[in-house]
Chains A and B, each alone.
Chain A
Amino acid sequence: MKKLLASTAVLLALALPGAAQDYTPDPAAKPGGTITITYKDDVATLDPAIGYDWQNWSMIKSLFDGLMDYVPGTTTLRPGLAESYEISEDGLVYTFKLRPGVKFHNGREMTAEDVKYSLDRVTNPETQSPGAGFFGAIAGFENAGPGGLSGVEVVDPLTVRITLSRPDATFLHVMALNFASVVPKEAVEEAGADFGKKPVGTGAYRLAEWTLGQRLVFEKNADYWRPGVPFLDSIVFEVGQEPVVALLRLQKGEVDVPGDGIPPAKFTEVMNDPAQAARVVVGGQLHTGYITLNVTLPPFDKLEVRKAINMAINKDRIIQIINGRAVPANQPLPPSMPGYTEGYAGYPYDPEGAKKLLADAGLADGFETELYVMNTDPNPRIAQAIQQDLAAIGIKANIQNLAQANVIEAGGAGTAPMIWSGGMAWIADFPDPSNFYGPILGCAGAGEGGWNWSKFCDPALDAKAVEADSMFDPARSADRLKLWSDIYMGVMEQAPWVPVFNEERYTMKSERMGGEDALYVDPVSIPVNYDYVWVKQ
């Protein structure tokens, strides 16, 4: 009986409907208006199973919904298409109650069958989804294929039961990823491979027009299931615009938000002009820029050498190169990520101490190595600063300045001794500390082709990571974050990375844009949370 009570308590705590964590849109907001967003690169696809670029990520968020969502401007989960959910006592069964009466853009009502179809589709290898791996905890994932996932069952038209093969504390975040968006089967089948150009979802906006290589127009979904939003009548995305040109057009009032941000060459000019600086919103970002030290290649297999390099890098000077648009990092997690270790000082900047460590390692005369870097500004300049810092302690680093794909290839193959991550650095997929571990610091990513470019693999830390991710019970959330903090401190002891900085986000907007600042530096919807911003008329 006691056990039953306890489990009921757990279920109740978890089944809380949205009310408690919900969000009140700006009371001053007025509906109507059209805004213009620009991007340099074309939008590749709007298929939520495929899109994984930073420009289509938030566009997809506005066209589609998943079972879970985030409170706008925060990293707090809230229910989306699910009205409520229950987690079984062992953490293996998630039962989602769907919101009734939600309609797809094609007018059909969304049901549990669609949820199952969408999860089956994203995990089916034929879909070639870059996000399939996130669903690895769902039972039957290994055998995913045209037959679908055995772990996802339709209980009734408004209930879906998902069974996991192992407890996964991040599972609700996974259900908030774009990859878990609910899509209507008939529209996907009708469009076939072109679904990415003809998206149909349940989101706040629908795609009204797409002229390839020129512009996309999103139109307000009048039947949107969240009352009162979105505010805008339409959003025009113009692609193929250089960031410098976009800024000029913003100054003329032709653009509302330049999607690629403020170009580095114009940054000082903008920030020194009070009128322009007033229209810039600054916020944190779940990003860390780092140097990877390949622990399988001598002399980086020596801990002293890795520590010495950590002490040799002048992070403040590197931040100056990017106009101060970052804060120095001392650990893998960014400060706004839960699980960040407060009060940890990291390795000090101490070239003399670094030299001593090198001497201890028997490398008093230094050595020669290679530093790989992506060839777009400001990364080569940052690499030069790193090169100079290393030269100061006797290490001669030759810079390999390559295209992004080539750096990724060398990193995955394990042939690069050092890589500056700029342009390819880790930005969290979801706001949970585990997302900074597995692919980039865990054993899973250390294999051939993986993103763990240090090839660092500590089975003891991996075991702790598994333990942390099995702590699904929200009541143990603090313990879990403490464990993650320990894991990252364990990583720092072995120094496979030099964490260099955490980038801040600088979003620029036109004068007529309304809504609180948090919407313009939303940690999940980049650059802007389209569903909640509005324009002054």
Chain B
Amino acid sequence: MAAYLIRRLVQSALILLGVSFITFFLLYVLPADPVRQIAGRSATAETVENIRQQLGLDRPFVVQYARYMGGLVQGDMGRSYLQKTQVAELIWSRLPATLLLMAGAIICELLLGLTMGIVAALRRGRALDQTLMIISFVTVSAPQFVVSLLLLYVFAVRLGWFPIGGYGTFAHLVLPALTLGILGSGWYSRMMRSSMIDVLRADYIRTARAKGLTRARIVLRHALPNAILPVIAMIGIDIGIFMGGIVVVESVFGWPGIGQLAWQAIQRVDIPIIMGVTLVSACAIVLGNLLADLIAPLIDPRIRLR
């Protein structure tokens, strides 16, 4: 177990190193000059060159990358080119919002997805099952922007049950978390349905039924714990999907997370922020996957980590 953990941690570090290199390289070759963005439209050529030198952007790629990584290992993510603020401070101030939204969204996803999946499995082949599966298909393919605005319009503007965007209270969290939850629930319901169907066919379920246990007890006590295994493993992977998709929802609901930060930085070629957010997201994805793998044997002793 310890050996496994060490190997995985080393692997994770290598993945992060790779991500940092590739991102830095892509930003380096990008045909957009961050110095132009800093210097503004009225700057003279001397001003531009001066800023380039001060930021070390006139140095070769390898030197720039080494400098960045040198700072990073000492915990220094640099300062934003345009805001001049510490990148760590910008990310740190927004990370709680993103994590909160992610937690809320995962709870919504699981509640919706698992319920739909279980019900569909129990009603397999019937109209309800088909309806639920069509719904899950629609939610998986629906554009985030449309769903966000639809929920916002109906529940916040028309019905006035929730605030129209913003951050701060539980009421603010409901709609964005629900949007992400609805959109992500399709994967979980399909996964849960097929997993549940497999389990319901197993011998021990037949035994339980033969013992005369109630249907509810069979499903919740005997089938669910086994059927839920592959679904749990998916949460880790889901964190990665969230990191990619949170940008739109955050911007529609005015949710002050790191997705918004990244989006604004990309438009202005603010490289330190882009690097910072990319690395933090990559860390979350890598950790998510690692956790999923570590949890699996705890739930299912047949899985051994080697």
Contact = CB atoms under 8 A, between A and B. Distances in A.
Contact of A133 (B42, B51, B251): B42
16 contacts: A40-B251, A41-B264, A42-B261, A44-B82, A47-B84, A128-B51, A193-B79, A194-B84, A213-B93, A213-B97, A244-B149, A248-B152, A248-B157, A405-B33, A406-B32, A408-B37
B38 A245 contact: no
A131 B42 contact: yes
A240 B257 CA distance: 10
A196 interface: yes
B94 A412 contact: no
Interface string A228-249: 0000000000111110110011
Contacts of A211: 93, 256
A196 B41 contact: no
Interface stretch (B4-12, B160-168, B231-239, B275-283): B160-168
Most B Cβ at <10 Å: residue of A241, A412, A429: A241
B112 interface: no
Given A125-B50, A193-B79, A240-B251, A405 B268 contact: yes
Given A240-B260, A405-B269, A406-B31, A212 B93 contact: yes
Contacts of A366: none
Nearest to B33: A409
Instruction: Sort A-B residue pairs by CB-CB distance and give the 8 closest, nearest first.
Output: A130-B40, A405-B32, A213-B256, A212-B93, A240-B254, A125-B50, A241-B254, A214-B256
Most A Cβ at <10 Å: residue of B32, B38, B51, B97: B32
Nearest to A195: B84
Contacts of A449: 33, 36, 45, 48
A20 B164 CA distance: 47
B84 A193 contact: yes
Interface in A120-148: 125-126, 128, 130-134, 136
A241 B31 contact: no
Contacts of B252: 242, 245
Contacts of B43: 130, 132-133
Interface string B223-259: 0000000000000000000000000001111111100
Contacts of A41: 264
A458 to B, nearest CB: 20
A131 B43 CA distance: 7
A196 B268 contact: no
Interface string B292-304: 0000000000000
Interface residues of A, number: 53
Nearest to B82: A44
Interface of A: 40-42, 44-45, 47, 50, 52, 125-126, 128, 130-134, 136, 193-194, 196-197, 211-214, 238-242, 244-245, 248-249, 251-252, 254, 403-406, 408-410, 412, 429, 439, 444, 447-451
Contacts of B44: 133, 136, 444
A13 to B, nearest CB: 30
A128 B45 contact: no
Given A193-B79, A214-B256, A240-B256, A52 B40 contact: yes
A184 B247 CA distance: 39
Most A Cβ at <10 Å: residue of B31, B50, B257: B31
Interface of B: 30-33, 36-45, 47-48, 50-51, 54, 79, 82-85, 89-90, 93-94, 97, 149, 152-153, 156-157, 164-167, 250-257, 260-261, 264, 266-269
B40 A242 contact: no
Contacts of A134: 42
A132 B43 CA distance: 7
Given A125-B50, A245-B164, A404-B267, A409 B45 contact: no
Given A128-B51, A131-B42, A409 B36 contact: yes
Contacts of B254: 238-242, 245
A242 B45 contact: no
A454 B31 CA distance: 19
Contacts of A451: 41-42
B54 A126 contact: yes
A308 B123 CA distance: 70
Contacts of B164: 245, 248-249, 252, 254
Contacts of A196: 83-85
